[in-house]
Amino acid sequence: MNNLETRARELNEAIAEVRRELHAHPELEHDLPFTEGVVVRELGRLGLDEVKSGQGRGHGVYATLKGGKPGKTIALRADMDALPIQEETGLPFASTNGAMHACGHDAHVAMLLGAARLLAEARDELAGTVRFIFQPSEEADSGAASMIESGALENPNVDEIIGLHTGNLWSGLRPGQIGWRAGPMMASTNAFKILIKGKGGHGAIPHLSVDPIVIAAEAIVRLQTLVSREVSPFDPAVLTIGSIAGGKAGNVIAGSCEMLGMTRAFDPKLAEFLRERLRATVENTASSMRGHGTVDFIGYLPPVVNDPACARKMRDVLEGVFGKDWVQELAFPSTGAEDFAFYLEKVPGAFFFHCSTFDDPERNYPHHNSKFDVNESVLWTGAAAMTAYALKGLAS
Ligand SMILES: [Zn+2]
Ligand SMILES: [Zn+2]
C-alpha cells in the first residue's frame, strides 16, 4: 500500500462525517447557504491560496491550490445540490426538510473536500495548480454555466477538468471502482412541455367538444414511434413522456392537457432531429383531430464527451498508483445527462463513474429514489482517484 492509499483510507471517516452533515441538510438548486458554509469551513482549514465563496448565483465556491513545482492547471469539480424528494432511508442522519440528497451530491462534495485535503498535504510534490469547483444546481439548471460565468475556469486558465459521479450508474463496477470511457460518456437531454388545446364541454356530448385527452393519448403513441421507426437502431436515443395532466372530473371534457417529457441522444444532430419531429408530430396530430398542439423546449444539456487522452490518463494513473483492479472501461455510455458537459465545451477533460453500491443488493436503490444511499466505506477511493490524477497527471 502506498502513502496516498494509506492516507486516503485514514481520511474516510472524516469524509463520511462531512457527507452525513450535508445529507442531513439538503438544499436545492442555487439556494445553498448551509452547503456553501460547510465547504468554506472545511477549505479554510487547508491553507489554500484562494477560496472564493458567493460565486455562481450566490452560493458556488471555487478555490485554488498552487503546487510546489510549476505545471499545468487542473480543475476538479463537485456538484452540491439535492432534490425535492421526501427522504425514506431511515438513516440516523436522514433529511427532515422535504429535500433529499438522492443523487449522491453530498458524497461528491465530501470526496472533493477529501481530495483538497490530500492535495494540500502533498503540495510540495504537486507540479502545477489545482482549482476546486463546488457548483450549485446540477439537477435544475444553469449550475455549471453560472460557475463558468463567475470565472471558475480562469486565473489561471484551466487546462483540464475532471469530475466524477458516485452511486450505481454502471452495474458492472464493484464498490470503490472507477469506470472510465473515451469519447461519449453521457447523453444530451432536451426537456419539453407539450400543451394540447381542445374545447371543453359535457362528457355526454363529445361531438360538441374537442377532447384534448384523446389527442394527447394519440400523440403519445405516435411520439413513441419516433425512436423505434425513424432513428437508426445504431444511434441510441430515448423519448419519455413523464407527466400528463388534464381534466378534473369524469363527466367533463377538459379544455386542455399538458405533458412533460425529455429526449436523450449522444449525437447533437440526432437531438435536433428529435426536436423537429417532436414538434411536427404534436402539431399535426392535434390539428388532424381539430385541436391545437404546441411544444416548448425548456432546457438542453449537451452530451458529456470525454477527451480520450484525459480518460486514458485516469486509467493509467490509477493502474500505476493503486493497481489494475481500481478501474474498469465502460463498454457503452450512460443515457443519463450531466451539466459537466458545459465545462467540456470550454476545456478538455473527462467525467468518471465512482461506484458506491453496497454488497447487499437490498440496500441498492436507483438514483433519485427516496431510499437512495451511498456506501460510505468507499468514499476514500473517489477522493484518492482525483488526488492521484492531479498529482501524477499534471506532471506528465
Ligand atoms: Zn441526479
Ligand atoms: Zn447527480
Neighbours of ion ligand 2 (CB under 5 A): 103
Q: Is the pLDDT of residue 189 over 60?
A: yes
Report how far ligand 2's centroid is from the alpha carbon of 79 (Å): 8
Tell me which residue of 251, 238, 246, 124 sits closest to 191, measured CA to CA: 238
Mean pLDDT to the nearest integer, 137-159:
96
Report how far ligand 1's centroid is from the alpha carbon of 101 (Å): 9
Judge whether 99 and 85 are in contact, CB under 8 Å.
yes
Question: pLDDT confidence of 376, banded at 50, 70, 90?
Answer: very high
Domains by residue range for the chain, with CATH: 3-187+303-393 (3.40.630.10), 188-301 (3.30.70.360)
> Which pLDDT value is given to residue 171?
81
Which region among 51-55, 153-157, 333-337 has the lowest average model confidence (pLDDT)?
333-337
For β-strands 69-79 and 160-167, DSSP reports them as parallel
Mean pLDDT to the nearest integer, 317-331:
94
Q: Is the dihedral of CA 328, 239, 366, 369 positive or negative?
A: positive
> Which pLDDT value is given to residue 357?
97
Ligand closest to CA 108: 2
> Which pLDDT value is given to residue 141?
83
| Cβ neighbour number for residue 204 with a 10 Å cutoff | 8
Q: Is the pLDDT of residue 1 over 60?
A: no
> Which pLDDT value is given to residue 299?
85
Ligand closest to CA 166: 2
What is the rounded CA–CA span in Å between residue 91 and residue 105? 17
Judge whether 32 and 136 are in contact, CB under 8 Å.
yes
Mean pLDDT to the nearest integer, 67-76:
95
Q: Pick the residue with more confidence: 35 or 141? A: 35
Q: What percent of the chain has pLDDT over 90?
A: 94
Averaged pLDDT score across all residues of the chain: 96
Question: pLDDT confidence of 230, banded at 50, 70, 90?
Answer: very high
Q: Is the pLDDT of residue 264 over 70?
A: yes
Ligand closest to CA 167: 2
Ligand closest to CA 165: 2
Which residues have C-beta within 8 Å of that of residue 133, sequence separation ≥ 6? Answer: 60, 61, 62, 75, 76, 77, 78, 147, 152, 161
Mean pLDDT to the nearest integer, 375-392:
97
Report how far ligand 1's centroid is from the alpha carbon of 103 (Å): 5
Mean pLDDT to the nearest integer, 304-314:
96
> Which pLDDT value is given to residue 395?
66
Mean pLDDT to the nearest integer, 86-109:
98
Mean pLDDT to the nearest integer, 238-247:
96
Q: What percent of the chain has pLDDT over 70?
A: 99
Q: Pick the residue with more confidence: 346 or 169? A: 346
Report how far ligand 1's centroid is from the alpha carbon of 186 (Å): 13
Report how far ligand 2's centroid is from the alpha carbon of 90 (Å): 21
Report how far ligand 2's centroid is from the alpha carbon of 138 (Å): 7
> Which pLDDT value is given to residue 242?
94
> Which pLDDT value is given to residue 114?
98
Report how far ligand 2's centroid is from the alpha carbon of 271 (Å): 22
Q: Is the pLDDT of residue 181 over 90?
A: yes
Mean pLDDT to the nearest integer, 279-304:
96
Judge whether 103 and 372 are in contact, CB under 8 Å.
yes
> Which pLDDT value is given to residue 241?
97
> Which pLDDT value is given to residue 396?
53
Mean pLDDT to the nearest integer, 122-126:
95
Mean pLDDT to the nearest integer, 188-193:
95
> Which pLDDT value is given to residue 393?
78
Report residue 246 as a C-alpha cell. Answer: 388534464
Question: pLDDT confidence of 268, banded at 50, 70, 90?
Answer: confident
Mean pLDDT to the nearest integer, 243-249:
97
What digits encode the pLDDT tens for the residues 11-41?
Answer: 999 999 999 999 999 999 999 999 999 999 9
Tell me which residue of 106, 98, 55 sits closest to 79, measured CA to CA: 106
